[in-house]
Amino acid sequence: MKLTLEEHLQELRRRILWILFILVFFSIVSYPLTPSLLSKIKRDLLRGSSLVVLSPQEAILVYIKISLLLGFIPSLPFIIFHSWRFIAPGLVEREKRLFLCVVTSSLLLFLLGAGFAYFFLLPITLRFLLEVANWTAVPMLSLERTINFILLIIFISGLIFQLPLVVGILTRLSLVNYKVLSSNRKYVILLAFIISALITDPSMVTQILVAIPIIILYEISILVSKILGK
Domain identity same for 8 and 89: yes
> CA torsion, points 136, 140, 143, 146, in degrees to nearest 10?
20
Q: Kindly list the averaged pLDDT for each block of 10 residues, start to end, along the chain of length 230.
A: 71 89 92 88 80 86 90 87 80 79 88 90 82 74 88 87 88 82 86 78 69 86 82
- Give the predicted TM-score (pTM) of the model: 0.81
Domain identity same for 15 and 121: yes
Domain identity same for 96 and 148: yes
Of 110, 136, 159, which one is at a domain's C-terminal end? 159
Measured distance CA(182)–CA(226) in Å, rounded: 10
Domain identity same for 203 and 109: no
pLDDT computed for residue 230 by the predictor:
66
Domain identity same for 154 and 201: no
- What range defines the domain where residue 137 resides? 1-159
Instruction: Say if CB 144 and CB 193 are below 8 A apart.
Output: no
Q: How many folded domains does the chain comprise? A: 2
Domain identity same for 40 and 154: yes
Domain identity same for 141 and 215: no
Instruction: Say if CB 157 and CB 113 are below 8 A apart.
Output: yes
pLDDT computed for residue 2 by the predictor:
62
pLDDT computed for residue 200 by the predictor:
64
Domain identity same for 167 and 187: yes
Domain identity same for 166 and 79: no
